[in-house]
Each structure stands twice: as C-alpha cells, then as structure tokens.
Structure 1
Amino acid sequence: MYRHYATKEALFAALVTQGAEGLERLVGRFGDAESPQAAIREFSAVMVADIAADDGASEFFQLMTQAFSMPDPPDEVRELVRQHYAVVEAVVALVEEGQRLGQFRAGDARQLATCYLAAVSGLVTMRLALGRDFVPPGADVLAGLLTGRNP
C-alpha cells in the first residue's frame, strides 16, 4: 500500500476524493433522469446490491460517513460534504418532479428524501452489524419509501 501512498493520510485523501467524485457523478445522473421513479429504482437496485455484497462497499461507505465527523476536516472531506449536500438536493428535486408526475407519494419532498437516504445509510449499518445474517430488501421495497408502492 505504501508503494502507492506515502502516508495513511494520503490514502485517506484518495479514498475521500473517490467518494466525492462518485457522489458528483450520481448528482449528474439524477439531474439527467427522464423518469424520477426509474432513477430511484435503479439507484436503489445498485445500492442494495453493493451493500449486500461482501466486497468492501459497506466499509467504504462507513468510512466516508465517519469523515463527516472530523473536527477540522481537510479540503477533500469538505468536498465530500459538499457533494453529499448536492445528493440530498438532487433527491429532493427528484421527489418533487416525481410527485408532479404522480410517480411518488405525497408529502414534504425534503422529509421524504431524508427518510430514503437515511434508510440507505441504515442498510450499511445493518450489513456491517449482521454480516452474513443480513437480509437486504429488494430495490422495490427501498424505492417504495418514495413511490408508496409495495412490490
């Protein structure tokens, strides 16, 4: 590892940058979505698959979440936080558009987006806590938090 990164701080910075770039791409995909319902369904499917897999995705997500609590974060973490806010705003916009199209349930768009994103984060915690006993929800169950539809 130290062949590629001089210090653990350099490794951490590279990981945080990777996380921020991933969030930025997600915001772009959400912004380009023709169907809010399809975009959330696709994102839900990818997230559930990543969380359920035993390939380090949950640990990476948890590491990124822990970076938010740094008392004096480096610039890379500040960018990660900025991109996290951008994801929240993109999901709020998707919910509002989905409501306008009749694809999502009625309610405060910000509250619905917060609940949905908190569920995604909670799945990571459950995966890490339960290990092989973790039973992931189907993508339609997760997306159903916004659509109001059960699979």
Structure 2
Amino acid sequence: MKPRHKKLAMIVAGVTALGIASVLVLNAFQSNLVFFFSPTQVAAKEAPIGKSFRIGGLVTEGSVQREGMSTTVHFSVTDTSHTIPVVYTGILPDLFKEGKGVVAQGKMSDKGVFQADEVLAKHDENYMPPEAAEALEKAAKAQKASLSE
C-alpha cells in the first residue's frame, strides 16, 4: 500500500470508530432518560404506561397507609388538581411526610397505580423540586380559572 492509501484507511477507521462510539453513547443516554410528569399529566394519559418516569407533587393528607409489618407503603401524590395513588416498597426518606413535597420514580401499572422504585423527599423547609413546584403552580392557576368561570 502506498502511504497515501494508508493515511486514507486510518482516517476512515477513525471516523468509523468515532461514529460507533457516538451511537453507543447516545443509546446509553436514551435508555437512562427519565421524564417528569405531574399528577395532572398522568391523569390526562400523557405519561407512558409500563415505562419508567418521575411523578411529583405533595403527599395527600391522610393518604399514607402502611401494610402491617412490611415496608410497603401506599400514599397519594397530588398537584391540588389531580391525585395519583402510589405504592412503594422500601424505606422512606426521613423527611417524607403528609402535605410535603415528594418526587417518586417508577412505572404506572395497568390499574392506574404508580409503582415507585424510588421516593425522594424535599431537603429543607424551602426546597421543592423545580418540576414539582411548576406543576403545582400550573394546577393552582387552572383551578382558579375554573372557579372564576
């Protein structure tokens, strides 16, 4: 092979390797991407069924129920407009309380119950995940608009 052909072969091999690496990285990002939905969006069937996503809002007052001696907990998440039932098996964060902000990651079941794999509570008195705060604001505005009509 001539030196010119060797250089061309090296360039083609480099571009091919870069292309393959790019495809693998993008595929990894796509498979690990988790979207956030408010209870209103979940009720409107905008959230995927059987695929992992996050839901956030406030834990509904009086909705937390524990199953006997197990670590399974049933509670509801609301954005003051819609409420979604959630089931979680595991140890809840110390800051998890009724009326406080929460974000749960998991999948929606066919029965309309969110099966959470992970539950995150707010960090301090003033913190709420930005997505959850925005969802609560939108729900409050929609509720005020419907009351004024």
For normalisation by structure 2, the TM-score amounts to: 0.26
For normalisation by structure 1, the TM-score amounts to: 0.26
The structure having more radius of gyration, on CA atoms, is 2
Q: Which protein is richer in helix relative to its size?
A: 1
